[in-house]
Structure 1
Amino acid sequence: MLVPIYYVPQILQQVALRGHNTQDLLASAGIILEDLGNASHKIPLTDFKALIRDALKLSGEPGLGLLVGRGLNPASHGIVGFAASSGASIADAMTIVARFLALRTPLVTMKIESDADEFRVVLDASPELDDTASLVLEVALVAVKNIADSLVLGGSICQRVHFAFPEPAYVGLSRDILGCDVLYGMAWSGMVFPLSGAMVKLSQHDAFVLQEAQLICQAELERVEHRGSLSEKIENMILKRQGEFLSLEQAAKLLNITPRTLERRLLDEHTTYQDIVCQLRRRIAHRYLCVDRISTKEAAFLLGYSDVANFRRAFKRWEGIPPSVFRRQTGKAS
């Protein structure tokens, strides 16, 4: 299994904060510094697990997963976090995360349950994680709780958190970071909210940005869907998935051909998969930046960039000017 390197930078940051050099961690996982800014880069699961084990050992911090999760705000999750932050309620936001979590990681699944009184967010780690499952669950659970908490003015409404593994020695850190009752040795991992609070409509909810983004993607889709080249079929495929920028391997699988065959056929059309994605992002970026209500930060996340700085660098490489200057020239707000 290949896994995205999302959240690897945050793991490295926690290790570095404790005074340790992280170069060896990167090297052991076959990652170079340039890879950390590439949202589509993936590494074998075995390397990812080795990196986690080495990070735990090097940092000497058994609660590393909690600390990594604490540093992840909604913006850290790219388009998934952005979409969830536009939810009409906590229940709506958590449903969005559950639906699209696979876009960020294949290592954790999430489902929603409710009854007359409670709204439950249930997370489950892949059995392939083995001894690293508890850390990955901690990262995911704290990060998802951060999304829910960010939607509520005045503090969290989460009643309690469950973990389906034994109580660790760092339980105090767990309760400090999560800020609510934390129970271990439970039948499932996740969060419990009062149903009434989870269903309350959020006053700051504004669905305009997502609606506008969907309209832009639809317009682009209509632009290419009647053409027949392979490159245009790939653009069509990406746009139909509402801006999910597939890896070459994912695109090849959907086209029922091998990655090598896809690369060869694109070379016959005098292009590459990377060029197609780059040009599509460039074109859609122009349209996003010409909409007043879509900020530069939101445009970056809608285009699949996990860090707005990476988007700014890419845009300057495309146009020779940063997005802020482009917006001023087109008379739009930054």
Structure 2
Amino acid sequence: MDKNSKVVPLQLHPMGLIEAFTRLGADPDELLAGTDISRGQLERGSGYISYAQQARLVRNGIHACDRPGLGLLAGLEFGWCFFGPVGYVAHCSPSLRDAGEAFRRYLAISQPYYALVPRTARPTTVLETSDWFVDNIVTLPGLDDMPEIREFELEFRLATYLRAVDLCGNKRVEDPSVHVRLGYPEPDHGHIYSALPCTSITFDCPSTQIAMHRDFLLAPWRPYRRAAFEQVVARCEEILRNSRLRGSYTDRVRAHVYEAFNRTVTLEEVAERLSVTPRALGRRLADEGTTFRTVVHEVRMKLTLEHLRCSRMSVDEIAEVMGFSCGSSLRRAVKRWSGSTAGEIRAESASVRRQAPPVPCTARGAPDPATSAGSVQRNSG
């Protein structure tokens, strides 16, 4: 996608950023300087801008607000309506998992540049132990030459992600704690991180991740909102279907299979979500040189390899999670797929697993006061 292509809806993310920046002290005219966005466009609240224009808007905001931790502050201010229809799942998703799947699938509607993040890349979510999920926070590609914007985007995503987790996670479960690991040293504005809705923050970790108990993520707790949630999802699917952001059928099937994680997903189920018949979906995949079974196997193997790299579970436990009959079956499949043994893959990333802070381990029914919800711990170094 060309950074100069005008595909970003002005009334969504850009308008949300303008609102957040002005609340944080920026002058609107200073924000618009050099962006080729007019006051008239803001008043009309319609039209499209390019990612390059949005990047200039963010850079202007950084200089106009002139305060540390701006990405965090803007992320805490950002209105859900500026995500477009998918933003409303924050208030109606039956579970955090439902919300996460919807945001991943439809975020490109409000921010088309996210379509550049390839679903063929390594998975971002793994089970670190049998009870704890870890989700990696990644930034958009191509920001290495724009460090100010890269820092802003990472902190902005962290803040909005944690707000969604706080709204949609099931706090009625035994352990509703949320733990943040940051792949960078504590900055001078580290005190601003205390405003984030999480239980603990640890700097200087191997990567930037958020860890939470599987029950907090998976257990539904707003069942009476499912009808509203399905209406929002249907509207998002309609918008995506009529846009230029749909991608190939292979990519769309791959996204649905990733979201199902270790749950068996059928051709019929995915076809229904894509509003095509199973036969038509099979034909379209064939036209793209693949099959449904091939895509499912590809995703399963990539998830398996990522668990071998990042999870603290044993090979036998990973085999059970990923649906293999036994550890030996997983080992054979991994060798055929990657050319490396499961042991070799585990050994390559052993140091990374050791450096990651362990997930909380407390007696059943007795929360650890050091990691209970509401307190933020920092363990730099």
**TM-score between both structures, scaled by the size of structure 1:** 0.57
Tell whether 2:36 aligns with 1:22.
no
8 A Cα contact 2:95 2:170, kept in partner: no
**Change beyond 3 A, Cα 1:165–1:146:** same
Taking the aligned partners of 2:91 and 2:24, their CA distance within structure 1 comes to 32
Letter in 2 for 1:46: A
Following superposition, the deviation at residue 172 of structure 1 comes to 0.8
What residue is the counterpart of 1:99 in the other structure? 105
Letter in 2 for 1:194: H
Following superposition, the deviation at residue 19 of structure 1 comes to 4.3
Tell whether 2:75 aligns with 1:61.
no
* Match of residue 125, structure 2, among 96, 100, 112: 112
What residue is the counterpart of 1:126 in the other structure? 140
Letter in 2 for 1:168: P
Tell whether 2:183 aligns with 1:194.
no
8 A Cα contact 1:158 1:193, kept in partner: yes
What residue is the counterpart of 1:268 in the other structure? none
Gaps of 5+ in 2: 118-122, 249-381
Taking the aligned partners of 1:118 and 1:14, their CA distance within structure 2 comes to 34
Following superposition, the deviation at residue 60 of structure 1 comes to 1.5
Gaps of 5+ in 1: 218-238, 255-334
Once the two structures are superposed, residues 20-57 of structure 1 have per-residue CA deviations (whole angstroms, 9 ceiling, x without a partner) of 42213213211123434777744333332232222212
More contact order relative to length (CA 8 Å, sep ≥ 6): 2
**Change beyond 3 A, Cα 1:71–1:158:** farther
Letter in 2 for 1:61: R
Taking the aligned partners of 2:24 and 2:233, their CA distance within structure 1 comes to 43
Following superposition, the deviation at residue 207 of structure 1 comes to 1.9
Helix, strand or coil for the counterpart of 1:124?
Answer: coil
Taking the aligned partners of 2:239 and 2:26, their CA distance within structure 1 comes to 38
Following superposition, the deviation at residue 121 of structure 1 comes to 2.6
Following superposition, the deviation at residue 64 of structure 1 comes to 0.9
8 A Cα contact 2:93 2:99, kept in partner: yes
Following superposition, the deviation at residue 169 of structure 1 comes to 0.8
8 A Cα contact 1:63 1:173, kept in partner: yes
Q: CA RMSD in A?
A: 3.5
Taking the aligned partners of 1:244 and 1:158, their CA distance within structure 2 comes to 34
Following superposition, the deviation at residue 209 of structure 1 comes to 2.6
Helix, strand or coil for the counterpart of 1:169?
Answer: coil
Following superposition, the deviation at residue 179 of structure 1 comes to 3.9
What residue is the counterpart of 2:39 in the other structure? 33
Taking the aligned partners of 2:201 and 2:183, their CA distance within structure 1 comes to 11
What residue is the counterpart of 1:47 in the other structure? 53
Following superposition, the deviation at residue 61 of structure 1 comes to 0.8
Following superposition, the deviation at residue 75 of structure 1 comes to 3.7
Tell whether 2:134 aligns with 1:138.
no
Letter in 2 for 1:69: G
Following superposition, the deviation at residue 134 of structure 1 comes to 1.8
1:225-236 aligned at under 5 Å gives the runs: none
Taking the aligned partners of 2:44 and 2:223, their CA distance within structure 1 comes to 32
Letter in 1 for 2:159: V
Letter in 1 for 2:214: L
8 A Cα contact 1:74 1:147, kept in partner: no
Following superposition, the deviation at residue 97 of structure 1 comes to 1.6
Following superposition, the deviation at residue 152 of structure 1 comes to 4.7
Tell whether 2:261 aligns with 1:244.
no
Once the two structures are superposed, residues 123-176 of structure 1 have per-residue CA deviations (whole angstroms, 9 ceiling, x without a partner) of 211232231112112112211221221125769935212333332111111122
**Change beyond 3 A, Cα 1:145–1:18:** closer
Instruction: Work out the percentage of aligned pairs sharing the same amino acid.
Output: 18
Once the two structures are superposed, residues 174-206 of structure 1 have per-residue CA deviations (whole angstroms, 9 ceiling, x without a partner) of 122344322333333342111122122213542
